[in-house]
Amino acid sequence: MQVNTFTAVLQDTRLIAPRVRHFVFALPEDVAFEHEPGQFITIHFSHGEKTLRRSYSIANPPSNSKFIEFAAGFVEGGPASQLLFNLKPGESVQMNGPFGRLVLKPENPKRLVLVATSTGVTPYLAMLDTLKARLQADPALEVVVLEGVRKREDLLYGDVFRAFAGECERARFIPCFSQEAPESLQNAERAGYVQEHFTHLALHPERDLVYLCGNPGMIDNAFDWLKANGFASQNVIREKYLSR
């Protein structure tokens, strides 16, 4: 897939959690941008005498090819946070992409388990149209999305994923809160970290293909658990997010 370099113009931005914003950038008309759900773009910007780069997973599906959307968390003192969180509609940034291998494989497993922390859930947002089509076409396929955050107010795109699970019979969305009291949990919500719920899902290497995206600590802990329980590397797709 062709990698493009271009200037994108901010169209809209909104706060979706206390420290996370969703951004919508318009692409130049002469740029034919194509991506697979799960890929990311990299922004380039000046900071002092340096040119810095930061990468963000694309949140919109490929069908919405005139825009690039992504979510970014605010990092105190982070150069990219200072740039993005102060950017106004009509202002622009340099980008290139797409990049990344956190994409859906051509063949369906029996169950897809998509695990994320915070903004690591955005590539799965871009996959929803494809997942709906696959669930309709393959009556044996199941999809589980686990999103881990600290508190309920930190949950990203919860309404969208709940709607997906409500619309698709064999899809589940499980929010996991590390700092919510167990007695306050509702419906499918769980207490603790996402990887602590692998046992409850009875993950099995002959059935499940697991995607991990987000905090490096979560990914390392989850991958160690999966390896200890018989998962080969090819059955675990990983992408770490670094906050800078």
| b/e map 91-105, b = 16+ CB within 10 Å | eebebebbebebbbe
pLDDT at residue 2 in the model: 78
pLDDT at residue 1 in the model: 63
pLDDT at residue 243 in the model: 60
pLDDT tens string, the chain, 244 residues long: the values are 678 899 999 999 999 999 999 999 999 999 889 999 999 999 999 998 999 999 999 999 999 889 999 999 999 999 999 999 999 999 999 999 999 999 999 999 999 999 999 999 999 999 999 999 999 999 999 999 999 999 999 999 999 999 999 999 999 999 999 999 888 999 899 999 999 999 999 999 999 999 999 999 999 999 999 999 999 999 999 998 766 5
Which residues lie closer than 8 Å to 165 by C-beta, 6 or more apart? 145, 171, 172, 173, 188
Rounded to the nearest 10 degrees, the angle between the axes of helix 122-137 and helix 158-167 is 10
**Contact (CB, 8 A) for 84 and 23:** yes
Structure tokens at 73: 């968390």
**Contact (CB, 8 A) for 25 and 68:** yes
- Residue 24: closest CA among 32, 38, 13, 33: 13
Structure tokens at 25: 């950038």
Cα–Cα distance between 123 and 38 in angstroms, integer? 4
Query: What strand order describes the sheet that includes 40-47?
Result: 50-57, 40-47, 92-99, 4-17, 20-26, 67-73
pLDDT at residue 149 in the model: 98
- Domains of the chain listed by start with CATH number: 4-99 (2.40.30.10), 111-240 (3.40.50.80)
Cα–Cα distance between 234 and 176 in angstroms, integer? 26
Please state the pTM of the whole predicted model. 0.95
